Structure 1
Amino acid sequence: MIQYPFLRKGATIGVTAPSSGVQPELHDLINTAEKRLKEKGYDIQIGDTVWTQEKAKSAPAKIRAKELNEMLTNDGIELIFPPWGGELLIEILEHMNFNDMEPKWILGYSDTSVLLLATTLKTGIATAHGTNLVDVRGEYSDKTTAMWEKVLSTKRGDSILQYSSEKYQKEWQHDNPTPQIYHLTEPTEWKVLLGKDAQVEGRLLGGCIDVIRHLIGTEYGDVANFRKQFTKGEPILWYFENCYLNTTDLRRTLVQMRLAGWFEGCAGILFGRSPANDTVGNYTIEDVYQDLYEELQLPIIYDIDCGHVPPQITFVNGAYAKVEVREGKGKVLQHLI
């Protein structure tokens, strides 16, 4: 059975950096995000790791893990909200106290998705793949991003519906922030391989494919045991987003996932918009999706609101979801059951 945390109004949010911290010249990003969250009524507890960054990480692995473990076992904290992702979160997994975890939300994406997926697979505690802390520092959030609060405040047994965005951001303009942080200029279109419409359902699992692929073959990536122990063998609905991989690297990764059994009992696969997916030797991203379809014969939906091309829907690892695409528009109904 999946355990679902619950975010109360006025809850305490713990901010720690299990991957990358924030350089001194960018500390104002954290201060502004803290201010916005306090305006919403939350209390904020910021850890020491947030303020430092050296050698591609906020601090040595044991220090990062210690701060995170302390927040995870602090009864007063209901949400762990890292500032952003990074590169080396995987270093902390062997130092995590998964057996002592109490149900509380962890929210983020990019490298944070290593922690999200490992936590859900190991413990059956739902985690939330969505916005980073620094991206809620605006005067307000777009409708898609803003849903993180409603999703995390959904009670066990209830459902939450989200819709595809109207527009997405083509490129970052960090020196020109808008009141909602993003520059949403391009019309959003969810696409379906071999068709216009699709409907698929299953237990959500996923994250940034660049980094969660490194869980394959470890105790933190035991998908088969997760299905047996926590979902009674229900089908998995995978969602992936690609930050850096070109098409052949992505293809190798998907083949490895299939050979490792990650797609056994799979109902379908969702792919987020990507700033990568660079073509190699005329091998396009559509070719990658086509090859995967020919192997799995499963629905493939792509260019969804997920990942490094914002905004993004908040996906709950472990939730039972029904995803529907009609004429380029999508909706995601998540049941916290």
Structure 2
Amino acid sequence: MIRYPFLKERATIGVTAPSSGMPHELHELLKAACERMEKMGFSVICGDTVWSQNKAKSAPAKKRAEEFNRMMRCEDIDFIFPPWGGELLIETLEYIDFENMKNKWVLGYSDVSLLLLAITLKTGIATAHGTNLVDLRGEYSDQTTVMWQAVLTTKESESILQHSSEKYQKEWQFDQPTSCIFNLTEETDWKTTINNKVKIEGRLLGGCIDAVRHLVGTPYGDVRNFKENVIHGDPLIWFFENCDLSTTDLRRSLIQMKLAGWFEDCSGIMFGRSPVHASIQGYTAEDVYHELSEELHFPIIFDIDCGHVPPQMTFINGAYAEIESNHGKGTVLQHLR
């Protein structure tokens, strides 16, 4: 069964960088985010890794893993919140102590989603795919992003409902930050591959496809064991978002997942909005979604609130979800059971 952590009031947040840390010129962003957390009533403990960045990583793999392991075991830390993603978290997996993890939330996205998915598949502990810590440094959060706290304070056996955003950010404007950090200017429009109204149910799993695809065929990506021994036959709903992959690389990655059995007993797939828009000889990401939907005989919902084109909902790896998309608007009802 899935084990759900719970975020208590006045919790202590452990900030560690299992992927990328903050280069010196960006330290003020993290300091501002930590100060915002403290104003919200949290205590914050930052590890050494968050303040350094060299050769595409915050620190050597063993050091990153040791700091993460320490925070996961520490009785005085309730919740792990990396500052953001990065590139090379996969180097740490062989040093992560999956056997002695305490039941506490880990929240993030991008490269961090590889660790989130590995934790849930290996241990049955639910993990949270949602906002980065540095994106919470504003005076307030938009109505979609702000739900992270409500989701993480949902108790086991309870449910939490989220609605699709009203608007999303087309591109980053770092020289024009808003009070909620994001420049939300474009109308959100969830799309589907079959018709204007879709409902799917199942256990959520997913993350940034650039990263999580590398779990295929490893001990950290054993989806079949998870289905048989943790969720006992419940269907899956996969959620993915694409940061950098070309259209053809996206297609190759999804076919590899299909051949590895990741999409067996699956009721649907969701894809977040992507900053990658270039087609290859007229071949687009939307073509990929439609082809995959036809091959797998289930609906695909895309351009949802997930990933590198904010804002994003908070999805719980392992939660039982009811997803509805109706003429461009969506709801996500997650049951922590």
Aligned to 1:312: 312
The Cα offsets for residues 183-238 of structure 1, whole Å up to 9 and x where unpaired, read as 00000010111211100010000000001000000000000001111101110000
1:145 counterpart SS class:
coil
Q: Distance in 2 between matches of 1:77 and 1:316?
A: 20
Q: Distance in 2 between matches of 1:268 and 1:278?
A: 25
2:206 counterpart SS class:
strand
2:333 counterpart SS class:
strand
Query: Residue type of the partner of 1:247?
Result: T
Whether contact under 8 Å (1:243, 1:274) holds in the other structure is yes
Distance 1:277 1:221, change over 3 A: farther
Q: Distance in 1 between matches of 2:299 and 2:194?
A: 9
Query: Residue type of the partner of 2:10?
Result: G
Alignment of 1:295-306 (within 5 A): 295-306=295-306
1:2 counterpart SS class:
coil
The answer to whether residue 95 in structure 2 is matched with residue 78 in structure 1 is no
Whether contact under 8 Å (1:245, 1:278) holds in the other structure is no
Taking structure 2 as the reference length, the TM-score comes to: 0.99
The Cα shift of 1:277 comes to: 4.4
Larger mean Cα displacement after TM superposition, 280-289 or 95-104: 280-289
2:298 counterpart SS class:
coil
Q: Distance in 2 between matches of 1:78 and 1:279?
A: 44
The Cα offsets for residues 307-328 of structure 1, whole Å up to 9 and x where unpaired, read as 0000000000000000001111
The Cα offsets for residues 258-305 of structure 1, whole Å up to 9 and x where unpaired, read as 000000111100000000142111111121011101210111000000
User: Please, which runs of 5 or more residues in structure 1 have no aligned partner?
Assistant: none
Alignment of 1:10-89 (within 5 A): 10-89=10-89
Aligned to 2:176: 176
Aligned to 2:128: 128
Q: Distance in 2 between matches of 1:42 and 1:36?
A: 9
2:78 counterpart SS class:
strand
Aligned residues: 337
1:258 counterpart SS class:
helix
1:289 counterpart SS class:
helix
Query: Residue type of the partner of 1:17?
Result: A
Whether contact under 8 Å (1:244, 1:277) holds in the other structure is no
Q: Which runs of 4+ in 1 moved over 6 A?
A: none
| Identity %, equivalent residues | 64
Aligned to 1:156: 156
Root-mean-square deviation (CA, aligned residues, Å) is 0.6
Q: Distance in 2 between matches of 1:268 and 1:327?
A: 17
2:205 counterpart SS class:
strand
Q: Distance in 2 between matches of 1:289 and 1:335?
A: 27
Aligned to 1:292: 292
User: Please, which runs of 5 or more residues in structure 2 have no aligned partner?
Assistant: none
The Cα shift of 1:174 comes to: 1.3
The Cα offsets for residues 150-208 of structure 1, whole Å up to 9 and x where unpaired, read as 00000000000000000000000112111100000000010111211100010000000
